[in-house]
Every structure is written in C-alpha cells, then in structure tokens.
Amino acid sequence: MPTFVNTPPSTRLINFKNIEFTNSNLVSQISIIRTEGIQYDLDLVLNFDNLTFSDIEFKSKGYLLNLDQQLPSNLTISNSRFMNIKQGIINIASTKVENPDLLASVHLFNITAENIQENEASFLNVEQEGRLFVSDSSFKNMYIYQDGGVLSGGSSNTITVITNSTFENNSALNGGVFNVKEQSVIKIYSCNITRNFAITSGVINVVSNGQFEIYDSLIYNNHANKNPVSQLLDTAKTSVISNSKIYLNHAFSKASIISEFSSCSQLCFVNQNFRDYSSANFLSEMSETHNEYQFSLIFASLSMVSATEINQESLVVDSFVSTLEITDTVIRDFTMEAIAIRGVSSTISLRNLSFINFTVTDQVDYILDTLDSTLSIMNSTSIIFRARSSQVNIQGLTYGLIANAIELGVISSCYNSTISGLTSTLSEVLGRSLLRLESSQNISLSNAVLKNTQKSGVRILSSNMISITNMNVLNCQDGVYIESSTVELLQNSSFENNGNSSKINGGALHITNSDVTLSNNIFRQNTAHDGGAIAFTCTSTSLCSLAIPSSIFELNNATERGGSVYYDYKRPTFGQGIKYFKNSAQYGKNIASYAVKIVFEGTPSDVMKLEDLAPGITYDETLKFAVKDYDDQVMVLDSQNQISLTAANSTVAEMKGFNVQPLVNGIASFDNFIVHTNPGNQDVIITASSKAIDQAKISTVFGNPISNNTIEVDTRFCKPGERIVDNICNTCSAGTYSFAWNSTECSQCMDDAICSGGTEINVNPGYWRVSLNSTSVIECINKEACEGGYQNSKIQPTNCATGYQGNLCTKCSVTENDKYQAVGGFVCQKCPNPILNAIRVIFVGFAVFAYFMVLIIVNVRKTSESEISILLRILTNYVQIISLSLSFSTKYPSSLSDILVPAETVGSSSEAFLSFDCFVMDSEIKGPFPSSIFFKIFLLIWLPLIIFLFVALIWVLIYYIKPKWVPNLTRNLVISFVSIVFLLHPKFAQESMNLFRCVKIDEGIMKARIDTDIDCYSSEHGKWIAILGLPILVIWVTAMPLFALIVMYKKTRVGEESNVVRQYFLILYQGLRLKHFYWEFVNSLRKVCILISFTLPTSAQIMFALGVLLITWRLQDFLEPYKLRQNNEIEIFGINISIITLCCGLIFNQEKTLASLNNILLIIMVIFNILFIIKWLYLLFLTLGTKHAFFRKLAMLMRYIALQRKRDQFLSTEHSKDHTEQLSRIIKNKQFRKKFKRRQRRRKKLLPKGGMRMKLKMKEQASKSRMLRSE
C-alpha cells in the first residue's frame, strides 16, 4: 500500500481553494480546469482543495479537470465533491513528454463523486503515461456508456493506485468500475467494490496487456451479463488478487434483467435516471445467455494469493490459453451449477486451495475442468476435477464432505502425470467415485487415501503404464475398478472394509480385461458377492494378466465365490509370498474360479478308477462325482447342471440305470447304475461329462484339458455275500449268507442271528460273533453285556452294551471320560468319583473285617452247638450248589435266571469287596498283572493271612490289656484262623478253578474265561495258573482243610469227643454225629469237584456234576451224618433239587426242545426251589419255637405248606432222646453259671484285699475249667 505525504516546501506554490462550479451548462470539449503549456524552472506544486462541481451538464464530452502537462511534483485535489454531472470527466495525461522523469502525477484525496452519467468516457481517464493516486474517496452512481464505469487506464503505461476507497453502484458496458488496457496498471488497496454492473466484467475489464493488482479489498454483490468480476483478454502481464474477499457476485441473462426492470431496484443500473436514458442502449449490448465465471482469462494471466476467500454462488475462473495460479485461497458456502474453474490449453496451478461447504447440483459434475492444459494441484482441499488431454501433477489433495458430486477426480487422455497425496477424509459415505483415470498413460499415483464412497474409489479405464504406490482404499463400496488397462505395478497399498454383500465383483479390486501386477499389498475385511478382495474377469486372453507375487489377504468375505480372489477366465499368477488368514466364502474361502474337471469326491487324485465293480448288478455303494476347479475345490454352488456317465466303447460295456444325475452343491451321487460287461473285465472306460465344464475355454486358457474326465473300471468276480447266476453277481437274499468268493449258492442263516442278505449277519441280543467271516454265534457269558446287531468292523462286528468291550463283551471299558469296573459275574458298573471310591473301598474293607471279627467272636464264645447255626450252614450249602448249577454254560430260561439271581448273588457275596477295579486303576497299583482280575486273585492269596494278622493283633492287645476277656489266647487264635479259612474257602475254590476255565469264542478258538484276551492254555495262561491258581488250590483249597481234617481225625480216633476238637473245631462239625465229623469237608470237596467240572464242555460239565451230586446224595442218605433227622432230610432235599436243576439244564442245552416241555421243566424247578425255602423256614421257626411261642405258632401254620403230616414228624425215636438231653444240658449249664456268678460276687464283698483275692481268683479259674470240661 503506498503512503501519501504532504508536498515539501518549494519555491513556487500555487493553491486553489474553495472553488465551486454549479448549475452550469457547457459546450462540448471545454475544460473547466486545464493545465497546459506551463513553463517552469523550479519545482512547482499545484494544490486544489475543497472543490465543488455539481449540477453541471456538458453538451458532449467535456472535462472537469484536464491535466495534460509534465509537472515537477504532485498535483493534489483534496476534500472535493463532484455531484450530478453529465458528460464531464477528469482527464489525466502527459501528451507532451519532454522529460521522461517528470510525468503527470495526480493525487486525489477525500474525493466524493456521485451521479455521474451518460459519459462517453470514464469519469477518471488516465492516458499517456499518466500517474493517478486515489485515497479515501467514494465513487457512486456512475453510469457510463463506455468501458470503465469509474476509471479507465489506457495507452502508454499509465499507473493508477487506489487506496481505502469505495466504489458502489457504478455501471458501464465493460468494466463496471475499472477498464485497464495498453500496458496500464491499476493497483487497488483496501477498497470496497460493491453493487457495480457491466455487460462484461462487472468490476474490472483488462485488455491489451493491461494489469491490475487488488489487495485487502472487498468485492461484493457486483453483477454482469458476463464475468461479474473481471475479464482478462490478451494480456501477458499477470494480474493479482491478494487477501481479498469476493462474494455474491452474479451474472444475469438478458431475460433475467428485463424481468427485473420494473420490480427490482437492487441492481446498480436500475435507477430512475439511468432507466430513462440508457437502459435501452445497455440491453442492446447484452447477450441472451450469461457467463457466470467471476473471472474470464483469454490469453491472460491471473494470480490469486494470500488466503483470498471467494464466497458466492457464481463460478470462479474460465481460462483459455492462459495462466492461472490460485494460492492460499478458500472458496466456501455456495451451490455450483457449472464448472467453477475451467481451463483450455492453459497452465493452472492450485496451491493450498480449499473448497468448503458447497453443493454441486445435477447440472455440473466437476469444480475444475481442464483440456489440453497443464494442471498442478498442491496441498488443496475438495477440488472435484476433470483433466482431459492434460499433464497433471497433484501433490496433496484432500476431500471433505461434498454433496451430489458424481466423481471427485477424472484424468482422461492425460500423460506423464503424477498424483501424490490424494486423500479423502469423508466422515460419511459418499455417492461417487473418488478418482477416474481414462485413456491416459504414464500416470503415477502414490500416497493416496480414499475412503467412504458408494462407488469406486479409483476407476482406471483404457489406460496404460499406470503405477500405483502406497494407496489406502477404505470403506469404499466399489473399491478400485480397472478395465482395459495396464497397471505395471500396484504395490505397498492397503484395501480395507471395501464393498458389501450386494457388490457383485471385487469388494476391494475389480480387474477386467487388463494386465495388472499386485505386490506387497494388504486386503483386509473386504466384501463382495464374488471375490471378497479381488475379482479378475476377462473375455479374451489378449489383455488378461494378473500377477500377485506377494500380498496379505485377511478376513475378506464373499457371499458366494472367492473370499480373497475370484477369476472367471485366465488364472492369475500366485506367488509364494501370498498369505491368507481367515477369509470366508460359500465356495473357495481363498480362491474361486470355474469348473475344469470331474473327479471322485473326497479323493485327492485326479485319476478316477473303480475297482471290484460288480458286473450286471446295481452298484451297491454311492459313487459321488465332484465338479472341481483348478485348485481342487468342489463347485459347491452348482446345483443346476448335471453329470452323465457313458461307456467309451459300447461294444465292451454298456451303462444302464440312472447314469445321469443332477449336481447338488457341486456333487452328483450315483447309487443306482449298472455296468453290463463280463465279470473280471479290466478294460472298461467310462466318460463323465457335464455342461458345467467349458472345454473350449479350458483349452484356450490352459492349452490342454486339465483332466480327461474318464473312469477306469475293473470289474470283479462275485465276492462274499453273492453268488454267480448267468455271469451276474446276485446278492444273497434275506435269511441266507455267503462268505466265499465265486460262490454258486448261499447258506442258510445260523441260529440266534438274523441274516439280512449278503454277508450281513445281525446277532441276537445276548450273543456274540468274533469276526465278519465267522459262522459261529456264541452265547455271551453275561447276556446283558451283548447288544448283538451288526456293524461292519473288522475288530468287532457285534455291538457291546455301554461299559463293555472285548471278546464276548467280558471286559469293562476304560476311556478318558468314563471308566467301568467289574463287580462279579462279568457285570460292569461305572466308576464313581475316585476320592469317593477310595473312601468306599476303605469303608467296605473295614466292614468286611468287622464282619469277620463278629463271626470269629461268635465262634470263640460258642462252647455248645446251635441248631440255628446248623440250619444256616445247610442253607449256605444249598445256595452255593444252586449258584454253581446256574453257572454252567447251559441255556437256562431268562425267567429262571431272574428268579434265582439272588441265590447267585449270595453265593458270591465276597465278590463285591474284591471287585475294586476302579480303585486299582485310579491308584495305579495293578503291578505286572495283565488286568485287575489277576491282581485281585493275587490279593486273595494273601487275604487270610492279612485278616488273621489284624485279628491276632487285636486278640493280643486285648489279652494284655484285659486278660479276663481272653482266658485262652491260643484257642482264640486257632478259632480265628479256622473261621477265616473256612469262610473264604468257597471263594478260594471258585477263583482257583476260574483260572483253569476256558470259553469258546469261535470254532477252534478258546480263550481263558477269566481274561478273554488270553489264549486258552497258552504260555501266558499257564504262567498265571502256576503263579496264582496252583498256590490257592494247593494251600488254601486242599492243604488247610486237609490239615484240619487230619487233626480232627487223630483227636477223635478213640470214638469220643476230645477236648481239643471241641475247643478248636466245634464250628466245623456241630450238629454232626461224632463219627461223621468230616461231613463238612465232604461238602467242600463236593463244591470243588463241581468247580473242576467247569473246565469241561457243557454237557460233560453237567454229567460230571450230576455224578458228584448223586454220589453225595447216596452218602448222605446212607450215613445220615446229622444228629437230627430233619437236618439230614432237608440237606438231601437240597441235593435233590440241585440234581433236578442240572437235569433240566441238560434238557435246555439241547438244540431241539419243545417249548411246552421247557415251560413244564421251568415250573417244576421253581416249585421245588420254593418248597425247599418253605421247609427250611419251617425248621427254623420250629427251632425258635422252643423259646418263643410266636415262632411255635408260626411253625404250626407252615407245616401244611411244608407238607408235614404230623407236628413231630422230623423228630425220630432214635434221635429224640439225644436232642432232649442236649437241650436240658444247655439249660442246666446256663442256670449253673448264673448261680456261680452270684456266689462269687458275695464272696468278693467278704474277702480282704491283697493275696487272698489273688488266691480266690486262681480258684475261680480252676472251677471254670472244670465246669467247661464237664460240659
């Protein structure tokens, strides 16, 4: 901004003050004040102050001031007014230049000019190298029918400087305020230019190398038919607008102006005076259309710098063969109805240009449009541009929210261009593409960030030599689209969250008919219908190449095909540097394409071969063919096409049946077709074909077919389950089976099974079969363990119940989740919690020990025989014999087993304690034994000694703590040991014999019954018999009872009951006659012999057991070993029932037995066993009736049920005396004991303490001993 100072003192000073010219009519070409022909030797200063020119009219052009002279110093006009003047102007010129350094220089200060009209020239006319300086002035309502409504600078390098002034409501034909031409310059500082009008250039018109510079000014609400601010025409000088605000400047068409004449006064030229005089002339110059561009450049140059704000609705710049530079500028708050900046054959440079808060209407697509130009954009914002046939250089372009734009950037037919830093910062989804490259070449795009669009972030069409680096495409619903182009390299870029489920191809990148190389890119969370990240489509091989040496594909999703990449023609080149992470699609989670081959579903090899095909019969298996792509993926989305099978050579083979099947999820299932050919033919070829495979395309793309889609068929001979009939392998019908190859007949199904035809044999529940080819159906030891049925398993074709496994389902299963233990009788139960199980085992151990201890105490305290104990021993023998009878391998009816299972349970009462498999498994103490059953037998060997040691320890402790409780320690120990051995003797016999037993699992295959995984009498079996079985059999089953028998025999040889036998072995022979003291050993021997028979075949077992029972029955009947007749008779009755049970079992074991006979035998067995129980209860109540009247009455009621005719039927004359004497002796002994105890208590009260008491104690012990001997 220039600074005006007072004129320095000079030798010559002329002052003109207070001059007023008013109400004058002057002729034309006259000057009111004129400077001309002044001669000067010294400095001369002219000052005009307080001039008033008003109401002056010239007939034609006249001069208010005509300053045409060289002056040594300034001419100053100040504080003056020019009002209501027609045809009058101020002219400043230097027409007679003698000294080039002394040009006319005029200063206007505080000038007011208003209502100047109908001039033929501008009010201020600067010519002939004139110099004009205007400051603090106001120019209003000037109406000029020429160029430059206020000021015109033209010809010969005139210079005008205007400062801090106002130009309002002025008008002209061109340049509503200023007109600059012919090397003239106008410089404007801090001015307000508003409400001015012109046909062209509403503010300033520049032609013929004119130039203007506008600084810190306001250009507001100016109007024109064309260019409401300025038109620059044919000027090489660069005009400048800096730090100024330009807004609400409008262009109007002629029709719009005419419609406003009578009703609108807001336009500057719509004034009463002007309307009457010159509106017609103005309208005649107007165009029917209007040019809305603020600035029009034609062969010109314009620079907008220093944060110029353009705030309006009109357009900005139209440039033709010109240079435009816009720097640090903000364009805001407007609706764009046409292109804002247009350049044709121009050089446009935009630096730090921002478009803010504007709307693009449907009438316009771009803010910036260039053609055949050079475009440079740097660090700018929201420039929606189109560059055609131009050279483009973009270094930093950022987009904010823009409404209604179609595309943000278009580069069409451009060349040698660089685009860097293109960034979209949209916070909402934008319904447009961000960048489009079309028909361009040698374009470099780098450091771009494009996001939030509903269309492609980048579209590249028909372009070549494109290079893209470091581009980030985010949240674009159409990603990047490349068509008919060559992208030499797209690298180091990121594509994230692009596309959506409705996007058809390529959520991040859609490439069609192009050559593209992708390297080191990241594709993450992109979505599309096909190709979640990339879709590569082509129609020919000429321009169809995609190479991906390295990239990362993560969490991309396709609703149908190709979670990462989908291609439909030429296969891309995939490098080793590609990494896939969690991509997803219905078909091809990483790569998807199209069908190229037909293969067997589920096989990795492309070679299809059918072996062992049965000729002439329907294929009995489901043959599945899969249509696969190049990557060996099933075309799971194909459910429209079908696969057909045809024989390649119809003379060799023929296809029949359902040889055409539809594809279901890419797979066709053939399960009902027939190949007719000779059995054993190895030369059958079947061709598989489908319309899903385009062989022409495959040959074009790959050169050769990927697969010949043929099936080699080897027909077989008739296999097991079939028979040969007319060279056709027919399956054996239901009820028959066949296990032989090339069989000509089928065998009838075996018993206890149902043959479903072929080789399938369903075993009945309770039965078992060792292998698929076995013809033996074996009854299970525990029928509940075998579910029967059929399963096609080489290991075990028969189902076991839950918790069972192994041969005959005898083993308890053990898995990580469930463990089962054997609890006796090959029954398995689920293991409880390990801690609870350990507590249970310990508790049961204590309970068993307590049980033994109680029995031992009872036996120790027993000094006389007990009829109840005798009856209980008879019942125990009966139960054990019955349980042994049921243990034979005989087909007893299940109803009988259910009835008598309590007896079997009682017979093996100790099994519950010994079956602690879970405890053994949990504690891992099994040791070297193959299973827990061997470990339990090992513990059984030492169990008597263990129990005896604890019992002996208790007796010794009691003996030393309370001696009177254990008067005879030896007697207590001997009775304890005898009681333990004989209580466990049945268990010893059973377990030792079980080690010798074997069981049949198939023809010629025997297994050890105790562990069916061990071969019968193999080295393994023999080892455990020697280690475990023989010690039990020799020591506990034989040696110990034999030792007791010998001792008793020696002590009773004399025929009398010795004191030793009565003291130590009373429990073994009570109730027996003394000469038959050995009878309990006979009973034990009977059980052992029956157990020995278990090692024989079933029929031999029963016959041997019958022989043993008949022998013991005969001995029982002959010897009558019991003292009481009823005891002999009840035991004989129990033996008879056992014989009946075995005889019935022998009949049940026959293969052909009438069902009615089985029912009769079953009823007989049940009746006799119930009758035994009733008889035994009758004897028990009869015995209890000697002391209790209730039981005596109950016995009287039961005698009829027990088939007793008389009350004393079981008391014979031979034994009644012995029985009466025995009962009376017991009563007397009890009375004696009571009297003795009372006497001793009285004596203790009378005797002194000390030695006398000790003597008395010794006498008492002697007396008791004598009494016991007498008893």
> Burial letters for 536-573: b for 16+ Cβ neighbours within 10 Å, e otherwise?
bbbeeeeebbbebeebbbbbbbbbbbbbbbbbbbbbbe
How far is the CA of 639 from the CAs of 244, 592, 644, 691, in angstroms? 70, 16, 14, 12
Q: Is the pLDDT of residue 212 over 90?
A: yes
| pLDDT (tens digit per residue) in 971-1011 | 777 777 777 777 777 777 777 777 777 888 888 888 888 88
Q: Is the pLDDT of residue 649 over 50?
A: yes
258 neighbors 322 (Cβ within 8 angstroms): no
Average pLDDT of the residues in 244-261: 74
Give the pair of three-digit tokens for residue 162.
């205007």
- Residues sharing a CB contact under 8 Å with residue 843, sequence separation 6 or more, in sequence order: none
Predicted pLDDT at 1089: 76
Split at pLDDT 50, 70, 90, the class of 583 is: very high
| pLDDT (tens digit per residue) in 927-967 | 677 777 777 778 777 878 888 888 888 878 877 888 777 77
Average pLDDT of the residues in 1101-1118: 78
| Higher-scoring residue by pLDDT: 644, 520 | 520
| pLDDT (tens digit per residue) in 513-560 | 999 999 999 999 999 999 999 999 998 888 889 999 999 999 999 999
How many angstroms separate the CA atoms of 722 and 733, rounded? 9
| Higher-scoring residue by pLDDT: 1265, 33 | 33
Q: Is the pLDDT of residue 511 over 90?
A: yes
Most confident of 227-241, 439-453, 619-633, 735-749: 227-241
Using alpha carbons only, give the angle 383, 385, 389 rounded to the nearest 5 degrees: 150
How many angstroms separate the CA atoms of 472 and 457, rounded? 10
Average pLDDT of the residues in 909-930: 59
| pLDDT (tens digit per residue) in 110-139 | 999 998 877 778 888 888 778 889 999 999
With a pLDDT cut of 70, the percent of the chain lying above it is 74
Split at pLDDT 50, 70, 90, the class of 590 is: very high
Q: Is the pLDDT of residue 1263 over 60?
A: no
Using alpha carbons only, give the angle 223, 224, 226 rounded to the nearest 5 degrees: 140
Q: Is the pLDDT of residue 271 over 50?
A: no
| Higher-scoring residue by pLDDT: 841, 129 | 129
Predicted pLDDT at 1108: 79
Helix axes 1079-1092, 1098-1119, angle to 10 degrees: 170
669 neighbors 676 (Cβ within 8 angstroms): no
Most confident of 579-593, 715-729, 1074-1088: 579-593
With a pLDDT cut of 90, the percent of the chain lying above it is 15
Split at pLDDT 50, 70, 90, the class of 910 is: very low
C-alpha dihedral sign at 847, 849, 852, 854: negative
SS3 for 242? strand
- Average pLDDT of the chain? 77
The answer to which of 340-349, 365-374, 887-896, 1023-1032 has the lowest mean pLDDT is 887-896
Tell me the residue length of the chain: 1271
* Phi-psi domain of 757 (left: phi exceeds 0; alpha: psi -120 through 50; beta: other): left
- Residues sharing a CB contact under 8 Å with residue 776, sequence separation 6 or more, in sequence order: 750, 769, 770, 1000, 1002, 1003
Q: Is the pLDDT of residue 366 over 90?
A: no
Look at strands 309-311 and 250-251 and give their pairing. Answer: unpaired
Predicted pLDDT at 1063: 63
SS3 for 771? coil
Q: Is the pLDDT of residue 638 over 70?
A: yes
Average pLDDT of the residues in 193-204: 91
Predicted pLDDT at 584: 94
Average pLDDT of the residues in 1032-1044: 79
875 neighbors 1176 (Cβ within 8 angstroms): yes
| pLDDT (tens digit per residue) in 402-442 | 655 556 778 887 878 788 877 776 545 555 667 888 888 88
Rounded to the nearest 5°, which phi and psi values hold at 1087?
Answer: -65, -40
**According to the CATH classification, is domain 595-715 in 2.60.40?**
yes
**Identity (one letter) of the amino acid at 410?**
V
Q: Is the pLDDT of residue 1224 over 60?
A: no
The answer to which of 251-265, 311-325, 1105-1119 has the lowest mean pLDDT is 251-265
Most confident of 523-527, 906-910, 1017-1021, 1114-1118: 523-527
Predicted pLDDT at 923: 64
> Burial letters for 1044-1059: b for 16+ Cβ neighbours within 10 Å, e otherwise?
bbeebeebbeeeeebe
3-state secondary structure 99-129: CCCCCCEEEEEEEEEEEEEEECCCCEEECCC
Look at strands 557-561 and 736-737 and give their pairing. Answer: unpaired
The answer to which of 560-564, 663-667, 827-831, 1068-1072 has the lowest mean pLDDT is 1068-1072
DSSP alpha helix (H) spans, 1066-1200: 1066-1069, 1079-1092, 1098-1119, 1125-1148, 1155-1184, 1189-1198
How far is the CA of 737 from the CAs of 397, 752, 776, 790, 798, in angstroms? 85, 14, 13, 14, 17
Q: Using CA atoms in the order 910, 914, 918, 920, what is the torsion angle rounded to 10 degrees?
A: 170
464 neighbors 439 (Cβ within 8 angstroms): no
| Higher-scoring residue by pLDDT: 1172, 393 | 393
**Segments of 777-906 assigned E as strands:** 778-779, 786-788, 799-800, 804-805, 811-812, 820-822, 828-830
How far is the CA of 1114 from the CAs of 26, 673, 1070, 1110, 1231, in angstroms? 179, 75, 22, 6, 42
Give the pair of three-digit tokens for residue 507.
């959520």
Q: Edge-to-edge, what's the strand order for the sheet holding 623-628? A: 597-600, 623-628, 667-670
Establish how many alpha carbons lie within 13 A of residue 815's alpha carbon, considering only the half-sphere containing its beta carbon: 8
Using alpha carbons only, give the angle 468, 472, 474 rounded to the nearest 5 degrees: 135
Average pLDDT of the residues in 1034-1042: 79
Q: Is the pLDDT of residue 615 over 80?
A: no
**Structure pTM?**
0.53
Which residue, 477, 434, 441, is CA-closest to 458? 434
How many angstroms separate the CA atoms of 159 and 149, rounded? 17
* Phi-psi domain of 727 (left: phi exceeds 0; alpha: psi -120 through 50; beta: other): left
* Phi-psi domain of 174 (left: phi exceeds 0; alpha: psi -120 through 50; beta: other): beta
